[in-house]
């Protein structure tokens, strides 16, 4: 092995060497570390970690309260939802009952109207039949009257043509004899 291979560092003569500024023997990284230690020391000395823990505990309690309130609101919302669903079902039942009642009432009204119409038709039919019967009776009476008038005229003519005073006397005597026998 050669000498060039055994040396690990190679120095380049063209590059200048760089050095960092220091103050009291500490470079900037050391001062940052010292400042951080001082801040952490002040935090410990002033019990900042306790204040942070209390603030976090307060925040946790606030969040728990909000979660409990949200849970309560959720339960109330579920109760309201159940109540409204029950009301909706009740309203649906009421609606169905109203529809059924209306149908029943409509059927009753139709049945009553049908009964009333049938009664009216029956009354009118009876009145018409009575009027027809009265007209028939009047026509029969008129026919009888006309027939009686015609029979009376015919009898008068026959009597005047066939009967004389002697036949009348015989009929009158015969009628008196029958009355006397009774």
Q: Give 130's contacts (C-beta < 8 A, 6+ positions apart).
A: none
Which range, of 73-82, 98-107, 150-159, averages the lowest pLDDT? 150-159
- Domain membership of residue 47 (yes or no) is yes
**Torsions phi, psi of 23, nearest 5?**
-135, 125
Which residue(s) pair with 23 in the sheet? 26
> Would you say residue 7 lies in a domain?
no
- Residue 12: predicted pLDDT: 54
Inside any domain, residue 19:
no
Instruction: Report if residue 36 sits inside a domain.
Output: yes
Total structural domains in the chain? 1
- Which residue range is the domain that position 78 belongs to? 30-159
Q: What is the pLDDT of residues 154-173, one digit of tens each?
A: 877 877 777 777 777 887 88
Q: What is the three-state SS of 17-56?
A: CCCCCCECCECHHHHHHHHHHHHHHHHHHCCHHHHHHHHH
The answer on pLDDT for 6 being more than 80 is no
Strand partners, 26: 23
- Tell whether 99 is covered by a domain: yes
pLDDT exceeds cutoff 60 at 13: no
């Amino acid at each position: 092995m050669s000498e060039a291979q055994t040396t690990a560092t190679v120095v380049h003569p063209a590059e200048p060497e760089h050095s960092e500024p220091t103050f009291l023997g500490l470079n900037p990284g050391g001062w940052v570390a010292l400042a951080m230690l001082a801040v952490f020391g002040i935090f410990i000395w002033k019990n900042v970690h306790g204040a942070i823990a209390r603030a976090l505990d307060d925040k946790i309690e606030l969040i728990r309260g909000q979660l409990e309130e949200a849970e309560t609101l959720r339960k109330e919302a579920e109760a309201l939802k159940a109540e409204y669903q029950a009301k909706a079902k009740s309203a649906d039942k009421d609606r169905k009952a109203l529809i059924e009642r209306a149908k029943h009432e409509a059927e009753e009204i139709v049945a009553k109207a049908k009964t009333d119409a049938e009664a009216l038709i029956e009354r009118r039919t009876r009145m018409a039949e009575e009027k027809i019967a009265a007209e028939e009776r009047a026509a029969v009476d008129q026919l009888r009257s006309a027939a009686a008038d015609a029979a009376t005229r015919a009898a008068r003519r026959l009597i005047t043509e066939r009967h004389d005073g002697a036949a009348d006397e015989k009929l009158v005597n015969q009628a008196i004899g029958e009355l006397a026998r009774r």
